[in-house]
Amino acid sequence: MPKSLTQKIIDAHNLQETQNEYALRIDQTLTQDATGTMAYLEFEAIGLERVKTELSLSYVDHNTLQTGFENADDHRFLQDIARKYGIYFSRPGNGICHQVHLERFGVPGKTLLGSDSHTPTGGGIGMLAIGAGGLDVASAMAGMPFSIAKPKVVNIVLRSALKPWVSAKDVILEVLRRLSVKGGVGKIIEYSGEGVKTLSIPERATITNMGAELGATTSIFPSDEVTRAFLSAQGRIEAWQELGPDKGALYDETIGIDLSLLEPLVACPHSPDNVVGIAELAGTKVDQVLIGSCTNSSLKDLLMVASVLKGRKAHPDISLAIAPGSKQVLEMLAGSGALNNMIASGARILESACGPCIGMGQSPSSNAVSIRTFNRNFKGRSGTASAGIHLTSPEVAVACALTGKFSDPRDLGDYPRIDIPEKFQVDDSMILPPAENGGPVEIRRGPNIKPLPLREPMQDMIEVEVLLKLEDNITTDDIMPAGSKILPLRSNIEAISQFVFSGIYPDFASLAKDAGSGCIIARENYGQGSSREHAALAPMYLGVKAVLARSFARIHRSNLINFGILPIIIDEDTYTSLKPAENIRISNILSALRGESSLEVISLGTGKKLTCEINLSQREAVILKTGGLLNFIKSKIGN
């Protein structure tokens, strides 16, 4: 039977198949510093002397704002860990993990697991690249397979070509407009059609990067002559192979997009799928424009921006800042003179890092309208809760930077000619290889790096208090906020737990502590957004034993299981009937995990039996029974 590209890569890496899951061999892993410290503490706890992947990388790109000792201590710890355990270390300033990985390490047909939800960026180069929690990545580094629910494969057929001033960002915004932030859950998005060949690798990576906002497991493009040219320019032609679907491959769903019909689009506050055409906002005053992030900080994007800015000044009412995605991009901008065009325009040049996308600096003013070429615009993520964050292409962003208002870039005139060099400037001196013998390497640990808290094996019956009742699409930013004040605490669960749900209910930590044992109630798509496992780990530390929701986002559901928290599915009647401060009893847990009976959930206040179920694979059930993934792994490898 003809196969999709997705199925070909899955079949080549599938170590064990059950009725509902694939267990995949992982070739490469990546971490970033906001998730990496905890991931490597977890790898240490497993007890191996060396990673077992083909290639593992530790990037520093999130917590680069060093306002205290915490981030610098974490970076030193990460460098020591990498040297000791066989991991390459990308130093602060070398760039954003997804941009650098695409440039220097991505290989078509390989599997990549990253402790960052935007790891699917690698799908732009033909990788099966999946985001996950740090403990899942630690498990993959230990040589364990990574299990995914058997996905539906959606074929998005791209026809024709984009018109001038319309870009890849508009393609993925159109997909989000059609499918929504939960439309990709349980799916892999595979792109095909004659329009694919008109898109460069950075453009394809923009699309796969923001596929994460669909809730999709990952997104992928074929590896073709465009891929070959990109790898050749990076001096990595040996990594190329041609990969694509078989002729006549069958898909679970097919969607067609005529690229020539797309227009510049904007995702309005406070969700990436709240998409409108630029005409609907034309003339609205803008206060801030930020260009960069792992979505739109490639050389191609920024050469276009620099060309538009040449000889022009940013509007005096605009705060304009630009962050190149990697040291390679920054050096090539400088060498071509493009960087000077940006500086002369009045733009502030930020370091090659995630920066404002993760809430590290550049928070807008109160009630500001901010335009960003980023991938998320959740309320408060920018650091200013009252700001309205809009997501656009670099083309729209630079047009607005010049006019001070929402403007159609097509009004700028002819699209600038962008000459991408046949050979990129390659300097990997900021990527440190591991020691050949890691045994003697001493790991330096700052006082903020605390041991990993663990959960005991699952009990058969628990009584919990309803701590919070929430609506649809609760994000991991809602659960465990980021930003410059909170991110430095990522390696200290006791300290960071004080900020759980702080944007929704500032006293949540005290409430949970007083309750002793609690649960969360929510509607659809609970835990969308970032892969941050701290959104499960910190609530676990506070005594959260279960989350009862209509549905869960993929990565967060896995993180809940990994840390021994029950992800329970409820119906609308149960959601409606449960109230904050109500106590419920959950029993028959162990027999339900074995598949021998159903959960029994009763409101202790009313005596009402609630409709609840827990849908788990056999592997997930064993993980929960043992009290989490780390206990499960150690039992498997005998440590």
Give the pLDDT confidence score for residue 152 in this predicted structure. 98
Give burial (CB, 10 Å; 0-12/13-18/19+) of 225. Answer: exposed
Mean pLDDT of 323-347: 97
The CATH label, of 2.60.40.650, 1.10.10.10, 3.30.420.40, 3.30.499.10, for the domain at 265-412 is: 3.30.499.10
Percent of the chain with pLDDT over 70: 100
Q: 437-468 b/e with 16+ CB inside 10 Å = b?
A: ebeeeebebbebbbeeeebeebeeebebbbbb
Residues 512-557: tens digit of each pLDDT: 999 999 999 999 999 999 989 999 999 999 999 999 999 999 999 9
What is the three-class DSSP state of 211? helix
Q: Where in the chain is the domain with CATH 3.20.19.10?
A: 462-637
Mean pLDDT of 65-84: 94
User: How far apart (Å, rounded) are the C-alpha atoms in residues 281 and 331?
Assistant: 35
Q: Where in the chain is the domain with CATH 3.30.499.10?
A: 265-412
Residues in contact with 437: Cβ distance below 8 Å, sequence separation at least 6, in sequence order = none
Give the pLDDT confidence score for residue 454 in this predicted structure. 83
User: How far apart (Å, rounded) are the C-alpha atoms in residues 13 and 6?
Assistant: 11
Give the pLDDT confidence score for residue 66 in this predicted structure. 85
Give the pLDDT confidence score for residue 639 in this predicted structure. 52
Mean pLDDT over the full length of the chain: 96
Contact 449, 73 (CB under 8 A): yes
Give the pLDDT confidence score for residue 483 in this predicted structure. 85
Mean pLDDT of 373-387: 94
Residues 102-124: tens digit of each pLDDT: 999 999 999 999 999 999 999 99
Residues 296-312: tens digit of each pLDDT: 999 999 999 999 999 99
Phi/psi at 264 (5° precision): -60, 130
The CATH label, of 3.40.640.10, 3.40.50.1000, 3.20.19.10, 1.10.645.10, for the domain at 462-637 is: 3.20.19.10
Q: Is 276 left (phi over 0), alpha (psi -120 to 50) or beta?
A: beta
* Confidence band for 638, pLDDT divided at 50, 70 and 90: low
Contact 427, 328 (CB under 8 A): yes
Mean pLDDT of 400-408: 98
Name the token pair of 581.
Answer: 């401060």
* Confidence band for 485, pLDDT divided at 50, 70 and 90: confident
Give the pLDDT confidence score for residue 636 in this predicted structure. 74
